[in-house]
Amino acid sequence: MFLICVNLWLKKMEKNNFQQVGKSKIKVDGQALVTGQPVFVGDFIIPGMLWAKVLWSPHSHARIKNIDASEAEKLPGVKAVLTYKDVPRIPFTTAGQGAPEPSPYDSFILDNKVRYLGDRVAAVAAETEEIANEALKQIKVDYEILEPILDPKNSRKKNAPVIHDEKEAHMPLPLAYEPKKNICAHIDIKIGDAEKTLKESDYVIEHEYDIHYAQHTPIETHISTAYFDVHGRMVIITSTQVPFHVRRIVARSLNIPVQKIRVIKPRIGGGFGVKQEVLIEPLVAALAMKTNQAVCLKYTRSEEFISSRCRHPQVINLKTGVQKDGTFSAIDIGILQNNGAYGSHSLTILCNTGSKILPLFKCKNIIFDGDVVYTNLPVCGAYRGYGATEGYFAMGIQLDEMAEKIGVDIVEWSKKIHISVGETSPVFAALGEGVEGVEQNISSCGLDKCIELGAKEINWYQKRRKTQTGRYRRGVGMVIMMQGSSIPEIDMGAAFMKMNEDGSFNLLLGATDLGTGSDTIMSQIAAEVLGTATEKMLVYSSDTDLTPFDVGAYASSTTYLSGQAVLKTAQKIKEQIKKVAAEMLKEPVENLTVHEGKVFGKKGKATFSEIANYSLYTKHQHQIMAGESHITHKSPPPFSAHFGEVEVDTLTGKVRVIKYVAAVDCGTAINPKSAEGQTEGAVINGISYALCERYIFNKKGKMLNPNFNYYKIFSTMDLPELKTILVPTYEPTGPFGAKSVSEIGINGPCPVIANAIYDAVGVRLYKAPFTPDKVLEAIKKNGNHR
Amino acid sequence: MSNNTIYLPKNLSEALKILNNSKEKVLPLAGGTTLLLNPTEKFSYIELDGLNLDYIKSDKNNLSIGAMTTIGQLAAWPQSARYWNGLIRECTLTIASTPNRNMITAGGNIVGLRPWSALAGVLLLLDGKIITARGKNYTAKEFFSKLPKTILGKNIVTKIRIPLNDKDLIGKWKKFSLTETDYPILSMGILYKLKNKNTIENIKIVATGLTILPQRFIKTERMLKNKQLTDNIIKLLTKSLQNEAVIGADIRVAAEYKREILGAIFKDILP
Amino acid sequence: MKIETTINNQKKELNVKNYTEPLLDVLRRHGYVGTKEGCRSGQCGACVVLVNGLPVNSCIYPAGRASGKKITTIEGIGIPNKLDKIQQSYLESGAVQCGYCTPGMILCTKSLLDKNPAPTDEEIKLALDGNLCRCTGYVKIIDAVKLAAKKLKKSSHR
């Protein structure tokens, strides 16, 4: 197995002459990480810190009739036991989104009802974890067991038990919310006339697709520590993707002013969306306030599986029309989305299933309709791909079938049906993330090149539709995709810079590096603007006291949104530097150029260090500093084409991915190795999800495999040959032409593998994951084979 | 976290004495990988590390593997890739992962039958003998006829002895699982001798992962004796395997699926 | 109880709550926080340390057993501005994203290259088969090990 990266932008770079951007700079936090420095939440040990443990519900649906913590409180070493009686009854959403959040306010820090097996009942803070665990056993709970809903198809039935029957649950925005019917979100849009067009289409294909529960499995589980500083102000160090949302939501849930809270994100051990959630911070804060001591809550691995967040399972009914001449005529898509017991990210994921798929195609007749329902199952939240993963599973497979129906090669047909530069789609305006979307024209698209290079790399025409006999059969499949870059008109990021004596700069930004390398990329952007070295940047990020606001790391926005804030800030700094230099060199500003960490005039030059010293100490003393905010006005999609070759064992159903090619257009790759790394990580996660990750539930709604022993993710031994191809384009609205790259890669593997399986053994799978027993069952049912 | 009492005997006889005389429940501590997985269990342990039970010795007749030899040591031992056509190396590499193979012991693997206990299957194939501290020895067949812990009683396995007279026989081991380092959905092992290119003189067949105990397919073995491997024979033996197999519950796949694929896995390792 | 070990080539006395306390907790309590907790069941490799040169999952290793043994943690490999070649290779290859699996990966890499200075791709994958990573997809980690092997070979020829 080896990786080849085709660096086509070398030519582009020469043209643009970037010095810092477009280089695979070593991560600014790299040295700390490879030497095991204490930079994660668990490494901050505060003297006298207490350990928190949570009592989890053993029932899928129950009311707490009575809860008695008195015995637990008596245990030596126990400092606090909290039940619903001890916390404010203020509803909020745990979804880390901008306020007002488009997710229902249906969560409390602790409640008198439990809604899934693994829901929160009570919490203990004690001197050791052992004592805390002992205390949990002493809490006496009287449950009134209620009938659970364990299948989303039952949620909306008449007389179904109402999961959120509390009066406080509400939607903070005027959006559809019907908890009495167990519906936590709804969307329906119509564009053109799909009903009529379907009737007039030469071919109509309809299937139901079923995509499953999964967990992000960051190697570092959820962990938060709350303590009080010397002024008695609460500081929360937490493993989060959304520090500013944490501050706001903790303040709301405990009814304390935002001013009283500081949130710090240090290094975190992976997020992938599961930490775009204000999950445990309100509880940890409540325990800290009760005890007046530092408290740390660290999820065990099984708690991470059951009681954090998961990917949203969806049942998608997809009906598409296609003409003999290849026109993609109509789409009618109906979605039933399972949110689990609480509604975080319900509407936005549902919308994304449409908004990141439908605009890709030149199809103007669309019905998009979906309900998100509550069930008494583990709660779903943001997960890389964010609805697009589910959507491409359905659409990617259906496109393959449509191409077959009209007798064309899917690779050739894909080139004809996708949106291109200068074009728009009515879906952009109709579907955003929750509220209406934003109209936009495509201003950069390298998808054709992605398709061409990917097909070549996998050897598409030599491998496709090969007649085979024998036990092991091989096939190839592909899919085209788009995602987005940021949430336009809604999300905001800001940065601040100041200059030091030696020509170094402090760069303070709210943007959240969850291991993606955003601190490094921001440094590269700032350095490129200023004509200095990346190594001259001192980045500090994600501290609600010391860094300006940023919504956080989600919606593929860090490079495109926060990067532009950094770029604008650096530009302002550059102007100030030139102004000082002009005074020093006694030359007009127009004569000056800035590069190599110096300012050059027609008659003389000055180094950044000389300029900084002058500005701080010599004359007209002032601090060279600037801050800028940015919101985006469009969400330019990265585009990608994925190709995969599989081998199917027709006797066991085992599917092995032999080779996988991911060709992606992310505009300019600010840090190429970083962009490749994001793609590779997303792809392997996606393949693992397609083939072997799943939640196994028993009849009572208990998840039976909350551990790595039985929830399998890929190790080095499972790797296919993986090639990443970065196809450069230039997005004029992005910093140095950049778009996003971190999510799109995870959406490819499910449809690619399904299509490759069809190519290999002539069997279509509409339900994921493709475990060997399911594949074998399908092979036997469908007789086999082309 | 466990608060178990740990005994540190200086030698084997002291260990046995502790095992016999202790009033509480005492277990020998081998690799320890499962100990810390269940920290609330209220056992006491006798540390076997440091009793010189980790060695691999072979003379003309026998291979002796000390009970505290790790699976990693076994996999790295040069002859494991040679004897029985590399059966031992092939099998040991299907157990767990590199760091865990450095802790899991040969003895632990066969006494505490866990999903990853492939060595038990290999011992059935190779007619291994299990030697204990009390002097009572067991054939592999005896040892795996019931849960080994119940057969062993208050005793300690000190070594495994495998006869080397047939080390030129061809052995093969195959694990079928969801991912490469996963516990087996099922594993199969064979040890055979060919009469000529396509005819089996005799063969032994074993499977692990179907139930807790490893299984040997004696009826199917007899069926194959002196038979040529035609398509028809392979069809018949698949049926025979499926009939002979005892299959227990597994949350990952239905028993019918395991039964269905027995023949397929077997085909993978046939000559 | 107290046990005598050698950690990163220095004699060290460890305070252990009892013989079967996980080595992970003992090490972290004594300041070796580069060793990470990921699953507490020996499945993810984030807690890997070397005991007598061989990688083990410290979350399931009874600390008492470390008595008299040589332990290597990530702190013993290199420090900022004094990185060893394996650490340097990981950085140059882009093999570090969130960094949480990295100490375990680097220690397994060291154990491999100490014994096998020119490993094949298959041997590299086998050596790292117990280290889970969710960020990188492993591709650049394998690149890093190959680069480290090259760097180590170069320096041994001087």
The DSSP annotation for chain B comes to: -----EE--SSHHHHHHHHHH-SS-EEEESS-TTTTTSTT---EEEE-TTSS---EEE-SSEEEEETT-BHHHHHHSGGGGTGGGGHHHHHHTTSS-HHHHTT-BHHHHHHS--TT-HHHHHHHHHT-EEEETTS-EEEHHHHTSS-HHHHH-S--EEEEEEE-TTTTSEEEEEEE-SSTTSPPSEEEEEEEEEEETTEEEEEEEEEESSSSS-EE-HHHHHHHTT-B--HHHHHHHHHHHHHH------SSS-HHHHHHHHHHHHHHH--
Cβ–Cβ below 8 Å for B251 and A715: no
The rounded percent of chain A whose pLDDT value lies above 70 is 97
> At A479, is the secondary structure helix, strand, or coil?
strand
Question: What pLDDT was estimated at residue A187?
Answer: 95
CATH number at residue C71: 3.10.20.30
User: Three-class SS string for A65-100?
Assistant: EEEECHHHHHCCCEEEEECHHHCCCCCECCECCCCC
**Which of A558-562, A718-722, B138-142, B265-269 shows the lowest per-residue confidence on average (mean pLDDT)?**
B265-269
CATH number at residue C120: 1.10.150.120
List every span in chain B annotated with CATH 3.30.390.50.
170-269
**Are C54 and C91 in a shared domain?**
no
**Are C99 and C56 in a shared domain?**
no
Decide if pLDDT at A12 tops 50.
no
Strand partners, C56: C49
Residue A651 with chain B: CB contacts under 8 Å: 261, 263-264, 267
pLDDT digit string, tens, across residues A632-644: 999 999 999 999 9
Cβ atoms < 10 Å from Cβ of A43: 16
Nearest by CB to B102, from C54, C128, C129: name it.
C54
| pLDDT-based confidence at residue B39 (cuts at 50, 70, 90) | low
Please, which residues have CB within 8 angstroms of residue A544's CB and are 6 or more apart in sequence? A243, A244, A247, A261, A262, A263, A264
CA distance C31 to C17: 16
Please, which residues have CB within 8 angstroms of residue B172's CB and are 6 or more apart in sequence? B85, B87, B90, B189, B190, B269
Residues B142-161, mean pLDDT to the nearest whole number: 94
DSSP state of A559: I
| pLDDT-based confidence at residue B41 (cuts at 50, 70, 90) | low
Set out the domains of chain A in order of their start, with CATH numbers: 39-146+221-308 (3.90.1170.50), 153-214+310-377 (3.30.365.10), 445-485+636-786 (3.30.365.10), 488-631 (3.30.365.10)
Residues C32-52, mean pLDDT to the nearest whole number: 97
**Are C107 and C44 in a shared domain?**
no
* Both structure tokens of B67: 């009970």
pLDDT digit string, tens, across residues A95-149: 999 999 999 999 999 999 999 999 999 999 999 999 999 999 999 999 999 999 9
Q: Are A44 and A108 in contact (CB under 8 A)?
A: no
DSSP state of C92: H
Nearest by CB to A681, from C32, C131, C136: name it.
C136
Q: Which amino acid is at B155?
A: N
C-alpha torsion sign, points C37, C41, C44, C45: positive
Cβ–Cβ below 8 Å for C17 and B103: no
Determine the structural domain holding residue C61 and report its residue range.
2-76
Of C15, C45, C76, the position where a domain reaches its end is C76
* Both structure tokens of A185: 């979100």
CA distance A368 to A332: 6
Minimum CA–CA partner of A692 in chain B: B178
Decide if pLDDT at A4 tops 70.
no
Show the beta-strand stretches assigned E in A61-218: 62-68, 78-82, 113-114, 120-126, 140-145, 183-191, 203-211
Of C47, C76, C105, the position where a domain reaches its end is C76
CA B68 and chain centroid, separation: 14
Task: State which H helix or E strand residue C27 sits in.
Answer: helix C23-29
**Fold of domain B1-168:** 3.30.465
Q: Does C65 touch chain B (CB under 8 A)?
A: yes
Cβ–Cβ below 8 Å for B33 and C60: yes
| A593-595: strand order across its sheet | A593-595, A598-600, A605-607
A-B contacts (CB, under 8 Å): 53
Question: What pLDDT was estimated at residue B32?
Answer: 85
Please, which residues have CB within 8 angstroms of residue C2's CB and are 6 or more apart in sequence? C13, C14, C15, C16
CA A683 and chain centroid, separation: 14
List every span in chain B annotated with CATH 3.30.465.10.
1-168
| Optimal mutation site among C33, C98, C105, C147, interface A, most CBs of chain A within 10 A | C98
Nearest by CB to A36, from C74, C139, C140: name it.
C74
pLDDT digit string, tens, across residues A254-289: 999 999 999 999 999 999 999 999 999 999 999 999
| Cα-based distances in Å from B77 to A69, A189, A779, B58, B97 | 57, 67, 42, 11, 17
Write down the mean pLDDT value for chain B. 92
Q: Are A661 and A463 in contact (CB under 8 A)?
A: no
Q: How many domains does one find in chain C?
A: 2
Please, which residues have CB within 8 angstroms of residue A271's CB and are 6 or more apart in sequence? A216, A218, A239, A240, A241, A514, A515, A553
Q: Are A354 and A369 in contact (CB under 8 A)?
A: no
| pLDDT-based confidence at residue C14 (cuts at 50, 70, 90) | very high
| Optimal mutation site among B3, B100, B114, B252, interface A, most CBs of chain A within 10 A | B252
Cβ–Cβ below 8 Å for B3 and C22: no
* Both structure tokens of A566: 């950094």
| Pick from A496, A489, A492: nearest CA to A245 | A492
Decide if pLDDT at A11 tops 90.
no
Q: Does C89 touch chain A (CB under 8 A)?
A: no
pLDDT digit string, tens, across residues A449-500: 999 999 999 999 999 999 888 999 999 999 999 999 999 999 999 999 999 9
Of C38, C59, C76, the position where a domain reaches its end is C76
CA distance A432 to A441: 15
pLDDT digit string, tens, across residues B65-119: 999 999 999 999 999 999 999 999 999 999 999 999 999 999 999 998 888 889 9
| A655-665: strand order across its sheet | A472-482, A639-649, A655-665, A721-726
Cβ–Cβ below 8 Å for A267 and C99: yes
Decide if pLDDT at A14 tops 60.
no
**Are C70 and C93 in a shared domain?**
no
**Are C55 and C104 in a shared domain?**
no
CA distance B204 to B222: 9
Nearest by CB to B1, from A130, A710, A715: name it.
A130
Decide if pLDDT at A784 tops 60.
no
Question: What pLDDT was estimated at residue A432?
Answer: 78
The ipTM, to two decimals, is 0.98
Q: Does B179 touch chain C (CB under 8 A)?
A: no
Question: What pLDDT was estimated at residue B5?
Answer: 83
| Cα-based distances in Å from A251 to A236, A242, A255, A296 | 12, 14, 6, 18
Would you mind telling me the total number of residues written for chain A in this entry? 786
| Optimal mutation site among B6, B37, B77, B98, interface C, most CBs of chain C within 10 A | B98
Please state the CATH superfamily assignment of the domain spanning residues B170-269 in this structure. Answer: CO dehydrogenase flavoprotein, C-terminal domain (3.30.390.50)
Residue A717 with chain B: CB contacts under 8 Å: 179-181
**Are C72 and C105 in a shared domain?**
no
Q: Which amino acid is at A729?
A: T
Write down the mean pLDDT value for chain A. 96
Strand partners, A80: A125
Q: Does A674 touch chain C (CB under 8 A)?
A: yes
| Pick from C45, C50, C8: nearest CA to C30 | C8
Kind of pairing, strands C70-72 and C2-7?
Answer: parallel
CA distance A387 to A236: 30
Question: What pLDDT was estimated at residue A234?
Answer: 98
Distance from CA of C60 to the nearest CA of A (A): 14
Kind of pairing, strands A366-373 and A328-338?
Answer: parallel
